Amino acid sequence: MRVVLVQPLIPPNTGNIGRLCAGHDISLHLVEPLGFSLDDKHMKRAGLDYWKHIDLHLHPNFDDVMAKHSEGRPWLFSTHATQSFWDVNYGPNDLLVFGQETKGLPADIKEKYADNLVTLPHNNNIRSMNLANTVAVAVYEALRQNR
């Protein structure tokens, strides 16, 4: 399993996601441009001393991720999807893909992988869940299915 963050902006979110990945031997793929430096003090603080355990990969674009990991299906998380993340079967090589905190995934990626769009259900009181929380929920569902 792989977690892919497309153009993340907020260091503490990425740090928390990195910690989650380190705790489950899941590789973390960051698609540039990033909204922060990987040397950022907030980034390191969010990941605490776990950064050395993260299998971290940087990619210039999403196509690069897919070219290097074509054996897995990409599951793209979007508030605009109609299919619940509970209603798909995750494989051990799949990619859990998340967009930027403020804009979500770019339209071209969503169009290209429209059949793989999933959403984390919630009521109308909020626009979306926090990115780090969404990744955690998705990862644990995929882990549950593949245990």
Condensed to tens digits (0 to 9), the pLDDT of residues 99-118 reads: 999 999 999 999 999 999 99
Examine the pLDDT at 138 and tell me if it is beyond 80: yes
Q: Which amino acid is at 3?
A: V
- pTM score: 0.94
Domain spans of the chain? 2-145
Let me know if 136 is exposed, middle or buried by CB neighbors in 10 A (0-12, 13-18, 19+).
middle
How far apart, in whole angstroms, are the C-alpha atoms of residue 97 and residue 71?
A: 15
Instruction: Look at residue 44 in the predicted model and tell me its pLDDT.
Output: 63
Residues 52-61 have pLDDT tens digits of: 899 999 999 9
Class in CATH terms, 2-145: alpha beta
pLDDT at 41 exceeding the cut of 80: no
Q: What's the CA gap between 9 and 3, in Å, rounded?
A: 16
Q: Which amino acid is at 94?
A: D
